[in-house]
Structure 1
Amino acid sequence: MSTRAQDFEQINIALSDRIRASAPNGILAEGDSLELLRKIPSNTISLILTDPPYHSTKKHNIYGDTQFQEDEHYLEWIETYSSEWHRLLRPNGSIFCFCDSSMSARLEILFSRRFNVLSHIVWTKPNEPGFDGWKGKMKKEALRQWYPHSERIIFAEPAVEGNLFRSTFAQFLRDMRQAAGLSLKELTAMIGAYGKVNHGGAVSNWEAGRNTPSREQYEKVCSAILETGKVKYMPPYEDVIRVFSVNASKEFTDIWTFPSVRPYKGKHPAEKPLAMLEHAIEATTYPGDIVLDCFAGSGSTALAALNLGRRTISIEVDQKWVKAIATRLEVESIKRNGKEYSYQPQENGMSTFVHQLDLFSGVK
């Protein structure tokens, strides 16, 4: 399997004619996201963190939010994206997709065709002191349903048929074990992972997709399979086990409490808080992983990924926001590192910043 750096370079080449800003670990491309997604090589993305138009909110200041007259047309559009997202993700990758509460149930069913939906996250937005927002101003007596003070985030992993829980790792382990000519009991005995009742032990559970091995257990599995001489290579832990790392000091439930972004000059109408995006990225990726946002908006996902030492691919169709993202990343990088940029005109009249050194440090 190729490295993250090799994958990033292949993506850079694939999108080269649409790149408007680039750096050793960040790409900003302009254009229709579906068209550009189809250019990206398969199984190269570790995390998709994206915020497509909600459709149900019908905001004219958000590109695409009023594009569809019927719900079904919107769902068909997302279905097309879902197919591409599944193709692009590494087998151990993850996806976060923001959506409106009124569409989330139907979107979750749509996602379940290709993904294992792991969590239906509710993002609730506490008001900061002195900032009541619409919740404080509206007339409660006029409500005919509960006030929608939250947004939803579908969190999922790629699914594969062939085992109880449609786990990609389960299918991979079964394929490798069978290629090595080992039975469940034989592999279990070789790594010392017998259960009290289940004679297939931990291996049986892993192949059903019930759970996954620790790094130490996986290394034992690799050693046992390679010892047979019938399998020449076993990929590293980071390439087969989906990342998920939280602790008690951070949000670890499916209720996320992050204040929304307060108004400021130049704010994107659907901008998400940087702290929430960093939380999602840190919990579900390794340093150096590639994070994709194909509805980049203000570029917050890119900035969050770069802050954490990840690589980032941003795609945006609205030229206004393409320019805003480029400027934001430039300003943030110079603020941190004092590095210089040079602007070069493009044939289509756009300008691009080309980093002369590093954008952010920390990505290997």
Structure 2
Amino acid sequence: MKSRELDFRGIGAALKEHLCLKKQSHLLAKGDSLEVIKKIPDNSISLILTDPPYHATKKKNIYGDTLFAKDKEYLDWMAEYAKEWRRILKPNGSLFCYCDSSMSARLEVLFSEEFNILSHVVWTKPNAPGFDGWKGKMKKENLRQWYGHSERIIFAEPAIEGNLHRSPFGQYLREMRKKSGLSGHQLTELTGAYGKVNHGGAVSNWEAGRNTPSREQYDKICSAIIGTGKVDSMLPYEDVIRPFIMDGSKEFTDVWNFESVRPYKGKHPAEKPIDMLKHAIEATSYADDIVLDCFGGSGSTAVAAHALNRKSITIEIEPEWVESIVTRLCALDSAEGTVSSEDSLETIELKQEALF
């Protein structure tokens, strides 16, 4: 989609001074992600999939995890991210934010100022014996509460002002329908979008944000509204409908069963499994969409996005992990034979300028 390519180029230009890697489908920026994302243009990101410091775990080998003395300091910091995430996400974009179970409730309330919270996903980490950390080693008789063996993922969409569903698409449809001069009943008649109860129309549900139309239904909406002669054009389906692509062969509930990444030399302490990241990206974005990870770590989000033909923007603050991500992403292109001499030269120059 041309609009995604234009957005990607615009982001690359905006982040130029921070870039360590600039390739056809990848941008890697080094720096404090809260400052970096302030330079990203409005409504240019389709999906944010990110894993910030948990604060509650207090791991010294994870940058930022011990930075805050009080919970409020951490929550204030995350509130700044939420505002920026809302600004840079497209109206039909999605957010996945990993967090510790002890902080998830407070983060949900915080995020609800800017987002509609759609799901609270529980990642169970059903690891094999020997790879299950303290779960297998600890003395269960010493427990004084249920052992926290899960991590949480808050899944959300941008919200508009108002109550209940606060749907950007609902607002857009209502504005276009009124501009066309059609009533909700008339649009229902023209599209044949009747509900199953009392022959009611689906248009009112769409405008209220309770659900969204299929591609076929949206095509009928566009034809009806443009057909009045009062509206010249409607946004493409990919720019207005939040994707959620699912079937019964995948993890379709809010309980996810993906094993943790097993230890290996050079593993990031908070590394997430590629299969889980691909699952999230595939369900909630379209091909060529732009996926942002503000806490790049191992670079796995970019790798997963690459495998699904999405563009990626990764931000990482620690030089050793920046260098690791550069190596990992360049290896992807080398394996596929897609590295041009110009691309390689630009990457080397950026790495020399920004890495150290």
On the 8 A contact 2:169/2:240 being kept in 1, the answer is: yes
- The answer for the alignment partner of 1:278 in structure 2 is 278
Q: Which moved more, 1:185-194 or 1:142-151?
A: 185-194
Secondary structure, aligned partner of 1:84? helix
Which of 341, 344, 350 aligns to 2:348? It is 344
- The answer for the alignment partner of 1:358 in structure 2 is none
- The answer for the alignment partner of 1:263 in structure 2 is 263
Q: Mapping of 1:186-225 within 5 angstroms? A: 186-195=186-195, 201-225=201-225
On the 8 A contact 1:185/1:199 being kept in 2, the answer is: no
State the shift of 1:211 in Å.
1.2
State the shift of 1:100 in Å.
0.2
- The answer for the alignment partner of 1:72 in structure 2 is 72
Q: Mapping of 1:222-261 within 5 angstroms? A: 222-261=222-261
* Counterpart residue identity of residue 37, structure 2: L
On the 8 A contact 2:290/2:313 being kept in 1, the answer is: yes
1:188-243 alpha-carbon deviations (Å, 9 max, x no partner): 22222244656761111111111111111111110111111111110111111110
| Residue 138 (structure 2) pairs with residue 134 (structure 1) | no
| TM-score (ref. length: structure 2) | 0.94
- The answer for the alignment partner of 1:111 in structure 2 is 111
- The answer for the alignment partner of 2:61 in structure 1 is 61
RMSD between aligned residues: 1.9
- The answer for the alignment partner of 1:181 in structure 2 is 181
On the 8 A contact 1:47/1:290 being kept in 2, the answer is: yes
Secondary structure, aligned partner of 1:149? coil
More helix, by proportion = 2
State the shift of 1:9 in Å.
0.7
On the 8 A contact 1:344/1:351 being kept in 2, the answer is: no
* Structure 2 Cα separation of the partners of residues 22 and 10 of structure 1: 12
| Residue 163 (structure 2) pairs with residue 167 (structure 1) | no
Residue 350 and residue 14 in structure 1: after superposition, are their counterparts in 2 closer, same or farther (change >3 A)?
closer
| Residue 96 (structure 2) pairs with residue 96 (structure 1) | yes
State the shift of 1:163 in Å.
6.3
On the 8 A contact 2:322/2:355 being kept in 1, the answer is: no
Could you tell me which runs of 5 or more consecutive residues in structure 1 were left unpaired when the two chains were aligned: 353-364
1:14-72 alpha-carbon deviations (Å, 9 max, x no partner): 00111001101110001111111110111111100000000011111111111100001
| Residue 328 (structure 2) pairs with residue 328 (structure 1) | yes
Could you tell me which runs of 5 or more consecutive residues in structure 2 were left unpaired when the two chains were aligned: none
Residue 317 and residue 351 in structure 1: after superposition, are their counterparts in 2 closer, same or farther (change >3 A)?
closer
- The answer for the alignment partner of 1:153 in structure 2 is 153
Secondary structure, aligned partner of 2:116? strand
* Structure 2 Cα separation of the partners of residues 345 and 44 of structure 1: 26
Secondary structure, aligned partner of 2:93? strand
- The number of equivalent residue pairs is 352
State the shift of 1:106 in Å.
0.4
* Structure 2 Cα separation of the partners of residues 289 and 259 of structure 1: 27
Residue 193 and residue 346 in structure 1: after superposition, are their counterparts in 2 closer, same or farther (change >3 A)?
closer
On the 8 A contact 1:162/1:171 being kept in 2, the answer is: no
Once the two structures are aligned, what percentage of the paired residues are identical?
A: 64
Secondary structure, aligned partner of 1:102? helix
* Structure 1 Cα separation of the partners of residues 112 and 44 of structure 2: 21
On the 8 A contact 2:92/2:158 being kept in 1, the answer is: yes
- The answer for the alignment partner of 1:296 in structure 2 is 296
- The answer for the alignment partner of 2:85 in structure 1 is 85
* Structure 2 Cα separation of the partners of residues 274 and 195 of structure 1: 40
Q: Mapping of 1:311-326 within 5 angstroms? A: 311-326=311-326
Q: Which moved more, 1:267-276 or 1:128-137?
A: 128-137
1:82-107 alpha-carbon deviations (Å, 9 max, x no partner): 00000111111100000000100100
